[in-house]
Structure 1
Amino acid sequence: MAAVTDVVVVGAGPTGLLVAADLATAGLSCVVLERRHGESNLSRAAGVHARTLEELDARGLADDFVAAGLPIDTLKVFGRGVLDLSRLDTRFPYMLAMPQFMTERLLTERARKMGVEFVPGAEVTGLRQDADGVDLDIRAHDGQESTWRARYVVGADGVRSAVRRSLGLPFPGLSVARSLLLCDVRMTDPPPNVLTADAVRDGFAFVLPFGDGWYRVIVWSRRRRRPDTAPVELGEIREITRRVLGTDFGMHDPRWISQFHCDERQVPTYRVGRVFLAGDAAHVHSPAGGLGMNTGLQDAANLAWKLAAVMRDGAPAWLLDTYGSERHQAGELALRTSGRLLRSAMARPRTLRAAWRVLLRAGMRYPPLARRMAETVSGIGLAYPAAPGAHPLVGRRAPDVPLDGPGPKSVYQALRCRRWLLVAPEGSRIPAQAAAGWDGRVRVVTAGGATSTLVLVRPDGYIAWAAGAGSESSADRIRTALAEWCGPPPTPVTH
């Protein structure tokens, strides 16, 4: 007999952990199937960007992350080029340097606390779905086979996703760089606490401090072409680093050395019936820009609340379709951004590489372009498509504005309730009256400062609906917006 649950998440990496904990927080039963045994000892992803930290702040996790990592607000690239993150309009104007195993540890703690069930050593071998759910065929390490039945499945099982293969989905794209070397090392003569990257004619090097005496180093040499399984020596990494950056910083005592290649791939659709793909199972690209894990975590933040809204609150079924349309676009942007950064480092002719440097340095020195570059890399600038004629704020990230009155003091503190927020201008009583029927789904808060705009903020911190003062923010229009996005009111609405 198949084990039954609301949602099965395949993959206990950062993306799967965030989805699972959010669903459990919403009161849904959730199981995580993971092929690995025990905690990951890898640390490939090394940075948490500002938009991801905002999403974590909406879950009360950001302060724990910041305490465990190293904030870096300056990215030094291509010699004198400097990307300044300190002016980002966010509580987190920096990139947080932090190894992936620490990210997984914090997210696992939350998931276990919320009641997520973990099944280690479980490999997906096939799936079937019908109108009511999905059956997953599972093989344990000892060869024993079983079946899990779920209303929905989330495949967050990485670039070699068994869920994606079971769906028969293609993963189109290409390999863009081979024989990249990566290590975490100690240094006797380390660089300052900034991200440092540069490129020469036949290679590039990247150095990132973690703040605890360890440093992440990624290098690539056009001269070196070996399979991913070939042995790697620290001396090779030191030699390439010296050639690119002029010094190897006295690196020693590596705790991890790896060789890998970079692909740029994306599935054509993130949803097939009751099965969703997220993270590296849906998109993969180079480590340039540190976008991979962040894009996956933002996939999770987008998907989890929609699943909970449909399964628990009776929200409209079309809401689940918006996951694919919104996050496929975000994945495309991550591939483009990462690809441009990688190609600028790998450009072979000296004149072409110099042209890339000039363009990037010019952009970093021109305030509007520098701000746009910082917003793109950090995720702060991402906006989702809005319907024609919608208010200009619709689809955009909600800024963390202060709130008046008792309770939470900012928007992202208020989002910790994992509900919708109706952010009303000071002194307006209509929003609270109009939203009375949605108690338990929608929280009405008052914006601090002078504003005449009424905003409906999704649980993932993006604006679903907005209206100006006057008749546009009438009670009837508010109720229409709430019914459209949040489903029918759970309690009768009185006029």
Structure 2
Amino acid sequence: MACRGHSIYIVDKKSGPTTESRALLVTPRVLEVLESEGVVHHLLKNAYVLCGVQLYWGKSKLGSADVAQDAAYPQMTITPQGTTETILKEQLEKMRTIHWNTELISYQQEQDHVTAVVRNDTEGETTIKAKYIIGADGCHSVVRKQGPDWTYEGCSVATLFSMADVALTGSDVESILHRATLCYGSKGVCGVIPLGPVTGDSRQYFRVIINMGPYERSTPDAENPTHGILKDEPMPLEKVQEIMNERITAFDLTASDPLWISYFRINERKANGFRRNRAFLMGDAAHCHSPVGGQGMNLGILDAHNLAWKLSLVLNGQSSDPETLLNSYNTEREPHAEQTIRATGNATRRALVDGFLMDSLRYVGLSLALAISPIKNYGVRLVMQIQLSLPASPILGSSDPGLLSTGQYLPDTALLRRRVILGTESGVVSKTLRQILQQSPRHTALLVATRPPHFPRNTLTTIFWNKVLPYRATVRPIVVESAWHVFDHRVPKEIDQVEDATDGFWIEGFSDASDSVTAKVGLQAHLSSKNPPAALIIIRPDQYVAHSVLIHTSSDLDTAFKFFDTYMKKQ
């Protein structure tokens, strides 16, 4: 919202970013999101990268799984939550103020605004008026609790867990240095996640996660969820070592120099909807679940990314149907939260339920899953959020056969060459499609008009450009053509508006390559017809495909552009 120029008032009752490591994993999809916002490099500079996971049953290795998937970031990226928060804080504070040591006391929704009372530790209470209020204030959310019909139903897991960030030494440290390791012992499970040399010296630190008993549910209490870190006395380091010796029998490892040891509990809960008029929920305020798979922080970031551009469009007065647009936040995010709660909850139960029969089923199930590549790869893509797409939504259009499906995240592509070469430039500008769209607050209307060289240039490119003009405030046009159909490196003379033209026309050299834009959008299969069409792909600001159609004629463009009218105003 700050990058889009909006006034925001952020309160946090903490004094600053957490000093605890807490959430560790940043998924490939969230890295793609951070890349689209221009901040991913800050996080990667501070990250430790893993190549996958490995599982052991006693001293026997069941198998391993790699994150080598079709993704821009085929890796497990490990960054302590405190580091992630600090990076985002530093970028945000370049534009806006964060009011630390300040908490929300109450709020009241009015017809056209929200009135909130906040209290700072030293300055006392202040009344704030805003168009909307967003509760990203955790499981005990004040925003949610003060909504008269908001609930937080689900279950609590009675099982106690412990986590310890410790240095590990021993003859087998190298064997666990580049993969997350899960060990099943006779008395429970122990997970070990490499953190890297976090203290600046040669010591290698790891997160050790332990269940303190078999899986048990407790009586649900929606008013007082027990999810998260407990303030109880932490487990002694000697006890951590004792449990490691019992459960990690395949490796020689010694724990020392703890940075943080804590107990925690798990809840599986979800609010009954993420919007109430001018109030929204995201992150743990909207949903909480088992930490299996490291989904929590990632889920919250994806919530924020989904809502931000929609609020921006409404606040700018550019939406023709604000209610449908804002309601789509709940429509698109709640199913993902439900799926995550269900998947992580099932995984936790199956991993921890006690008994000989369950042990046998676990052994067979894990062995088969790791041995059968399609099952293993599906699991990796699910946990890493690589295959994540949007559910059916009122603000998604249609997709013609073979083209990118609506709700699909925009795939990355090979480099394109910018058509226009400015007199001040010392070289040719080349970018991938995602790089072209980076930090774009508008929708993108992408016309891929590539053709084999024996066909004439597609004349619809200039018609397309001029027809986008009424939507130019909210839609950015991009044209991709084949190199053999571009006869100069200037702005085309026929276009009516040149503001976006310098960065609007791009050239593709090899459209038959598997990573070409032509191939990635699905146009390649249609180029063998007698009169090859173009492909129009409408891409949302969060880089999900909203509409994708084949374009044969000018009237096809008129029909396709009617999609914009579903929730956007003309200029």
Cα drift, residue 30 of structure 1: 0.8
TM-score, structure 2 as length reference: 0.77
In structure 2, C-alpha distance between the alignment counterparts of 1:285 and 1:412, rounded to whole Å: 32
Partner of 2:73: 92
In structure 1, C-alpha distance between the alignment counterparts of 2:392 and 2:570, rounded to whole Å: 24
Cα drift, residue 220 of structure 1: 1.2
Q: Is the 8 A contact 1:202 1:221 kept in 2?
A: no
Deviates further, 229-238 or 96-105 = 229-238
The equivalences for 1:335-484 within 5 A come to: 335-386=341-392, 390-391=398-399, 393-402=405-414, 404-406=416-418, 409-413=431-435, 414-427=437-450, 429=461, 430-446=463-479, 448=508, 449=511, 450=518, 451=523, 452-471=534-553, 474-484=556-566
1:441 maps to a residue whose letter is T
2:281 maps to a residue whose letter is L
Q: Is the 8 A contact 2:26 2:77 kept in 1?
A: yes
Partner of 1:268: 272
Of residues 222, 232, 249 in structure 1, which corresponds to 2:235? 232
SS at match of 1:405: strand
Deviates further, 175-184 or 290-299 = 175-184
In structure 2, C-alpha distance between the alignment counterparts of 1:481 and 1:366, rounded to whole Å: 42
Q: Is the 8 A contact 2:104 2:119 kept in 1?
A: yes
What per-residue deviation string (whole Å, max 9, x for no partner) do you get for residues 240-295 of structure 1? Answer: 22222225721111111111101111101000110100001111111110000001
Of residues 197, 201, 206 in structure 1, which corresponds to 2:191? 206
TM-score, structure 1 as length reference: 0.88
Deviates further, 76-85 or 290-299 = 76-85
Aligned length: 465
Cα drift, residue 346 of structure 1: 0.3
Partner of 1:43: 21
Partner of 2:115: 135
Q: Is the 8 A contact 1:220 1:240 kept in 2?
A: no
Of residues 112, 115, 119 in structure 1, which corresponds to 2:99? 119
1:233 maps to a residue whose letter is P
Residues 333 and 411 from structure 1, CA distance in 2 versus in 1: closer, same or farther, beyond 3 angstroms?
A: farther
In structure 2, C-alpha distance between the alignment counterparts of 1:256 and 1:308, rounded to whole Å: 40
In structure 1, C-alpha distance between the alignment counterparts of 2:331 and 2:442, rounded to whole Å: 22
1:489 maps to a residue whose letter is K
Cα drift, residue 470 of structure 1: 2.3
Cα drift, residue 479 of structure 1: 2.2
Q: Is the 8 A contact 1:198 1:345 kept in 2?
A: no
2:240 maps to a residue whose letter is I
What per-residue deviation string (whole Å, max 9, x for no partner) do you get for residues 216-261 of structure 1? Answer: 1111121899976244212222222222222572111111111110
What per-residue deviation string (whole Å, max 9, x for no partner) do you get for residues 341-389 of structure 1? Answer: 2122202123223323432432333333223212211112122223698
What per-residue deviation string (whole Å, max 9, x for no partner) do you get for residues 310-331 of structure 1? Answer: 1115223111101011110110
Partner of 1:330: 336
Deviates further, 408-417 or 460-469 = 408-417
Deviates further, 459-468 or 445-454 = 445-454
In structure 2, C-alpha distance between the alignment counterparts of 1:229 and 1:387, rounded to whole Å: 44
SS at match of 1:24: coil
Q: Is the 8 A contact 2:214 2:353 kept in 1?
A: no
Residues 91 and 231 from structure 1, CA distance in 2 versus in 1: closer, same or farther, beyond 3 angstroms?
A: closer
In structure 2, C-alpha distance between the alignment counterparts of 1:411 and 1:387, rounded to whole Å: 25
- The structure with the greater share of residues assigned to helix is 1
1:399 maps to a residue whose letter is P
In structure 2, C-alpha distance between the alignment counterparts of 1:109 and 1:142, rounded to whole Å: 23
Partner of 2:182: 197
In structure 2, C-alpha distance between the alignment counterparts of 1:403 and 1:177, rounded to whole Å: 52
The equivalences for 1:24-63 within 5 A come to: 24-63=2-41
What per-residue deviation string (whole Å, max 9, x for no partner) do you get for residues 143-202 of structure 1? Answer: 822211110111001111111111142111111253211121112233221011123343
Q: Is the 8 A contact 2:215 2:352 kept in 1?
A: no
What per-residue deviation string (whole Å, max 9, x for no partner) do you get for residues 114-155 of structure 1? Answer: x22211111212111011111112222248222111101110
Q: Is the 8 A contact 2:416 2:433 kept in 1?
A: no
Q: Whose radius of gyration is greater, 1 or 2?
A: 2
In structure 2, C-alpha distance between the alignment counterparts of 1:248 and 1:340, rounded to whole Å: 31
2:110 maps to a residue whose letter is D
Partner of 1:181: 162
Residues 223 and 336 from structure 1, CA distance in 2 versus in 1: closer, same or farther, beyond 3 angstroms?
A: closer
Residues 28 and 82 from structure 1, CA distance in 2 versus in 1: closer, same or farther, beyond 3 angstroms?
A: same
Partner of 2:313: 309
Deviates further, 393-402 or 270-279 = 393-402
1:59 maps to a residue whose letter is E
What per-residue deviation string (whole Å, max 9, x for no partner) do you get for residues 453-484 of structure 1? Answer: 32111111211111124259822123212232
- Provide the identity percentage: 29
Deviates further, 25-34 or 230-239 = 230-239
Residues 28 and 372 from structure 1, CA distance in 2 versus in 1: closer, same or farther, beyond 3 angstroms?
A: same
SS at match of 1:464: strand
Partner of 1:64: 42
2:549 maps to a residue whose letter is A
SS at match of 1:174: strand
Cα drift, residue 423 of structure 1: 2.2
Q: Is the 8 A contact 2:28 2:386 kept in 1?
A: yes
Higher relative contact order (CA 8 A, sep 6+): 1
SS at match of 1:386: coil
Cα drift, residue 44 of structure 1: 0.7
SS at match of 1:210: strand
Of residues 125, 128, 131 in structure 2, which corresponds to 1:145? 125
